[in-house]
Amino acid sequence: MRPGVTLEDVTRAADLLLEKGDRPTIEGVRGVLGTGSPATVNAHLKAYYQALPARLNLPAPIATAAAQLYQSIRDAAQVEVDQIEGERRAALDADRAALEGERRTYESEKNQLQAQATALAADLAVARDQVSASQRQLAALQVQIADALRAVSAAEARAQAAIEERDRAARKHQEEIEQLRARADGNERHLLGQIDEQRTQNRRLISEREKEQAASAKRIADLDAAIAQFSKDLAEQRKDAIRLSAELSREQRARSVAEASLGSAADAHERELASLQTQRDQLRADRDHERARADRLAHERDAAAGDAAGLRGRLEGLEAQLDRLVPTAARSKSGRPKADS
């Protein structure tokens, strides 16, 4: 019953209909009032007809006829009420059927979304495996670079020892020249031969280091390719995440339409949707973490390439220093400039 529709309202509307020559019916009264449910108007009309003979002060026969008229009107009104209630129940059943169809559609979309979330988790696991493989490759590369650095350090030590030995030999040879000039030429050729041999060894060592650096550069290029592929995979995962977000938005819109009718079932669906959103956010966080790790790998790769370039510069400086020392030692023994043999 809608609030505000009283017996006085129905009585006033029914009297107005009687004044116009119309029979007071449920729909007629509702048309005059502009409100009121059929059941409420019917109950007030019953009271209206019961009180009508007393209000009009009718004789007994007329009151009896009025009572019979009331009964017939009441029966007609009851039929009208039953028809309206039947239509209302039919509309309610149709609404329930439509709501059940929407619920099944929502369940189907939810299952599809869960399957997509599972596939996305599998793709993320593959990406993590690829990052782990890249990390292992980078660790191996770092070990190789460390070995190369140790080898260069050893080469520098050997070169320094060779220079010191050459200096000692030069001083000794100078003493021999002062004592035995007749044997100076032979000793000088012998010393220059040792210097040339040492230079040859140093150049061979530098050539080996350059080959190792070329191999390291190739490994770095392979690592770059792996990182590029990983970035491409991350881009694909980002597209999947955007598509997943759009699907979640569509699901939220469908859920908001069904909330008014689903009641407590909609609350359960809301919790499931929140769980899916949490999983999506976790997947995005994992993806961002893996991307940051890939960036760190690229940075470490660049640092390794810089160390290799610095190592090559040190070797070239050592070669230049050796080239400067060789003519100096030759002039100190012979007393005159001598071309490199």
Cα 125 to chain centroid distance, Å, stands at 13
Q: What pLDDT score does 32 carry?
A: 94
Contacts of 113-122 with C-beta under 8 Å, sequence gap 24+, read: 113/244, 113/247, 113/248, 113/251, 113/276, 114/276, 116/240, 116/244, 116/247, 117/244, 117/276, 117/279, 117/280, 117/283, 120/237, 120/240, 120/241, 120/244, 120/283, 121/279, 121/283
Structure tokens at 214: 């070329």
Question: Do 183 and 317 contact (CB within 8 A), yes or no?
Answer: no
Q: What pLDDT score does 28 carry?
A: 92
| Other CB atoms within 10 A of residue 201 CB | 14
Residue-wise pLDDT for 240-255, tens only, equals 868 877 887 887 787 6
Residue-wise pLDDT for 111-164, tens only, equals 988 888 798 788 888 878 887 887 888 788 788 878 878 886 887 888 788 788
In this model, does residue 310 exceed pLDDT 70? yes
Q: Is the pTM of this model over 0.95?
A: no
Lowest mean pLDDT segment, chosen from 4-8, 63-67, 113-117 = 63-67
Distance from C-alpha of 265 to C-alpha of 255, rounded to nearest angstrom: 10
Q: CA of 199: how far to CAs of 43, 145, 224, 263, 280, in Å? A: 122, 25, 37, 90, 64
Q: What pLDDT score does 196 carry?
A: 85
Give the residue, 192 or 107, on which the prediction is more confident. 107
Would you place residue 300 in the very low, low, confident or very high pLDDT band (cuts 50, 70, 90)? confident
Of 33, 27, 7, nearest in space to 87 by CA: 27
Torsion-angle region of 89 (φ positive above 0: left; ψ -120 to 50: alpha; else: beta): alpha
In this model, does residue 31 exceed pLDDT 90? yes
Question: Do 227 and 294 contact (CB within 8 A), yes or no?
Answer: yes
Best mean pLDDT range from 49-58, 224-233, 278-287: 278-287
- 13 CB-near residues (< 8 Å, 6+ apart): 24, 28, 29, 32, 33
In this model, does residue 338 exceed pLDDT 60? no
In this model, does residue 331 exceed pLDDT 80? no
Give the residue, 106 or 34, on which the prediction is more confident. 34
Of 281, 208, 212, nearest in space to 245 by CA: 281
Question: Do 340 and 200 contact (CB within 8 A), yes or no?
Answer: no
Question: Do 173 and 191 contact (CB within 8 A), yes or no?
Answer: yes
- Give residue 12's identity as a one-letter amino acid code: R
3-class secondary-structure state, position 178: helix
Would you place residue 269 in the very low, low, confident or very high pLDDT band (cuts 50, 70, 90)? low
Q: Report the mean per-residue pLDDT for the chain.
A: 80
Alpha helices in the chain (DSSP H): 7-19, 26-33, 38-56, 60-179, 184-262, 264-334
Give the residue, 300 or 337, on which the prediction is more confident. 300
In this model, does residue 10 exceed pLDDT 50? yes
In this model, does residue 341 exceed pLDDT 50? no
Which residue, chain included where needed, has tokens 């009309």?
45
